[in-house]
Amino acid sequence: MATINGHYLMVEDESYDFSVDVTEQPVEKDIDVTDHVQRKPRVLSLTGSVVENAAKIETFLKEASEKGTLVRYVGRTTFSGLITGFAPTRSYRNATGFDFSLSIKEIRIATTSYVNDLPVPIKAQTVKIVNSGTKQTKNKKKSKSSSKSKTKNKKASKAATKEQVKRVKFKPGSPWAQ
């Protein structure tokens, strides 16, 4: 008996797919030149049947497939991945359950490279920011009331353009100092 996340299955066949991508470049004479080989994700295909707790196991397999739940298969081999194909079949041979074919694909989960704080060597080379620059203000909706508000907006925009943008400074000798 085999299990997927603790759910028992009667597996008849297990077959692996170990495939690779081979990049080839054509040449004028002879065979194409191969410059590198890259491994594709492994795929485990299963066929078998479920006899006990068939409704519960079928619901679990459907939800795991639809939600992208990482599953662990333990049978003749051990494999972890996502269920990419699940096809139940009902026939007169299995009255209390169902037959199935299932494929599990190996995945690699990416993680973020974002770091909250700078490492100590980089943090020591930076100077605190005095001014990060000017910020553009949003203009309020223009009203049709009077021309006094228009002249005030013009004076405010001229004052904003006169301010200079200050640059971020680093300590001398750091790789970021210019």
Q: What angle (nearest 5°) sits at the alpha carbon of residue 67, between those of residues 62 and 68?
A: 100
C-beta atoms surrounding 173 within 10 Å: 7
Pair 30, 10: CB distance under 8 Å: no
Q: pLDDT tens digits for 46-95? A: 999 998 899 999 999 999 999 999 999 999 999 999 999 999 999 888 88
The tokens for 82 are 């996502």
Residue found under tokens 């009203």: 143
Residue 148, phi-psi category: left (phi > 0), alpha (psi -120 to 50), beta (remainder): alpha
Q: What is the pLDDT along the chain (178 residues), one digit of tens a residue?
A: 899 999 999 999 999 999 999 999 999 888 999 889 999 999 999 999 998 899 999 999 999 999 999 999 999 999 999 999 999 999 888 888 999 999 999 998 888 777 666 666 665 666 666 666 677 777 766 555 545 555 555 555 555 555 666 666 777 777 766 6
pTM of the complete model: 0.59
> Looking at the domain that runs over 2-105, which CATH code has it been given?
2.40.30.200
